[in-house]
């Protein structure tokens, strides 16, 4: 028998291109991020999450009348059926919020009359429903965890302001509004990351859009992906006092522990999203809330030490997850909800990639190189 030649194995598919795309450019060498050709800084300074959603889904910025219709479509899809809401709320005290959200998003398929219609137009409409309804579900799940009734959506509010209103029962302050809008923009899209790739793998089988994004949400939950900001905040909580920061980090590094929120598979310099969030830390460094000040001081001190030790020498810099935690806490959002917000933000990215991939679909079927034994002799169970 001719022996197979050992192929080159790309662990984690590192360095492997899976398709051509016009949605997102991640320039890891220069620390730049683009959505449809627009830098993340430009969009954060000039746009809002709803307009970014339109851009990602349709490939360009909308005209005024197009944008008004798109916002109206999003507002009209905010309501979730009684059945799906009951399912989400009944599971909310038994499971992690992200698991409840994943289950509820999957259940949304049961009430979509266009589920079997795989035309591009129908799938675009389903994407709008998913973007809108996942925010409603995320807010309702968190309220249910705390024994509170859901808050009905307010059609007068923007997508992100309405999310905060449904979550807290109050309209967000101007500071909260600005921050949450930024968070949703920064998390809306990031090329072929683990959850997006998982969405595409499921979608490549021609599974429906609900099944595909549910697969993506399952991938998102892991602490190496969507759960990283929650893990980073947990580390800051463990540090406790800002004065303990340097020793904690030194001890962790000496023990070869991973410092969550630092390093990235693609970025070899400062994550541009983290740079945007870093500016918020400076604005809030003297906030009246002592918990906010404490967490921000820990984050800033940890950042400095990590950059001094590993930034320029090994290319390990802060990523977006590291600064998210303290800012979410300031906005009144509990750690258990971080990944759900990530999912609500990223829904548009998953859908945009799926719609693009379906225009030239090919099922994913990678290879693996077998290194086990062959032609073994079967031994009866009594003689083993």
Among 39, 306, 14, 308, smallest CA distance to 189 is for: 39
The pLDDT tens digits of the residues spanning 312-345 come to 788 888 889 899 999 999 999 999 999 999 999 9
Residue 2: band (very low, low, confident or very high) from pLDDT cuts 50, 70, 90: low
Report DSSP state, residue 149: P
**The pTM is what?**
0.94
Domain parsing of the chain, residue ranges = 24-224+337-360, 228-330
Residue 76: band (very low, low, confident or very high) from pLDDT cuts 50, 70, 90: very high
The pLDDT tens digits of the residues spanning 107-132 come to 999 999 999 999 999 999 999 999 99
pLDDT value at 4 more than 90: no
Q: At what angle do helices 228-239 and 320-330 cross, to 10 degrees?
A: 70
Residues assigned a catalytic role: 264, 321
Phi, psi of 318 (to 5 degrees): -65, 145
Fold of the CATH domain 24-224+337-360: Citrate Synthase; domain 1 (1.10.580)
Task: Tell me what pLDDT residue 1 has.
Answer: 53
Cβ neighbours for 30, distance < 8 A, ≥ 6 positions apart: 269
H helices present in the chain, as ranges: 40-46, 49-58, 64-76, 82-91, 97-107, 120-145, 159-168, 174-186, 194-204, 209-220, 228-239, 245-254, 272-284, 290-306, 312-314, 320-330, 338-357
Strands 24-27 and 32-35: antiparallel
Fold of the CATH domain 228-330: Cytochrome p450-Terp; domain 2 (1.10.230)
pLDDT value at 37 more than 70: yes
The number of angstroms, rounded, from the C-alpha of 34 to the middle of its chain's C-alpha atoms is: 16
| DSSP notation for 19-42 | ---SSEEEETTTTEEEETTEEHHH
């Amino acid at each position: 028998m001719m022996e197979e030649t050992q192929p080159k194995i790309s662990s984690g598919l590192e360095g492997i291109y899976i398709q051509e795309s016009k949605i997102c450019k991640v320039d890891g060498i220069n620390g730049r991020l683009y959505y449809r050709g627009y830098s993340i800084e430009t969009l954060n300074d000039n746009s809002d999450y709803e307009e970014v959603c339109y851009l990602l889904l349709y490939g360009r910025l909308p005209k005024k009348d197009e944008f008004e219709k798109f916002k109206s479509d999003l507002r009209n899809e905010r309501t979730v059926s009684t059945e799906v809401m009951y399912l989400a709320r009944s599971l909310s005290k038994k499971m992690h919020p992200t698991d409840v959200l994943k289950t509820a998003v999957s259940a949304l398929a049961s009430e979509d009359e266009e589920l079997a219609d795989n035309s591009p137009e129908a799938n675009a409409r389903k994407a709008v429903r998913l973007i809108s309804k996942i925010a409603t579900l995320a807010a309702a799940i968190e309220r249910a965890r705390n024994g509170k009734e859901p808050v009905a959506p307010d059609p007068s509010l923007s997508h992100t302001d309405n999310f905060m209103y449904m979550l807290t029962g109050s309209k967000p302050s101007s500071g909260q509004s600005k921050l949450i809008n930024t968070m949703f923009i920064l998390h809306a899209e990031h090329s072929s990351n683990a959850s997006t790739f998982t969405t595409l793998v499921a979608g490549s089988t021609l599974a429906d859009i609900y099944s595909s994004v549910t697969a993506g949400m399952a991938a998102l939950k892991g602490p190496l992906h969507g759960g990283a900001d929650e893990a980073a905040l947990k580390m800051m909580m463990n540090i406790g006092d800002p004065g303990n920061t340097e020793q904690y980090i030194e001890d962790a590094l000496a023990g070869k522990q991973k410092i969550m929120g630092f390093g990235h598979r693609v970025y070899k310099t400062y994550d541009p999203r983290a740079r945007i969030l870093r500016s918020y830390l400076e604005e809030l460094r003297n906030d009246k809330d002592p918990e906010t000040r404490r967490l921000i001081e820990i984050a800033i001190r940890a950042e400095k030490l990590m950059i001094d030790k590993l930034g320029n020498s090994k290319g390990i810099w802060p990523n977006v997850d590291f600064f998210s935690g303290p800012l979410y806490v300031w906005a009144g959002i509990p750690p258990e909800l971080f990944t759900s917000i990530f999912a609500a933000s990223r829904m548009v990215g998953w859908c945009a990639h799926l719609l693009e991939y379906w225009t030239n679909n090919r099922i994913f079927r990678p290879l693996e190189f077998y290194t086990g034994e062959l032609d073994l002799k079967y031994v009866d169970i009594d003689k083993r």
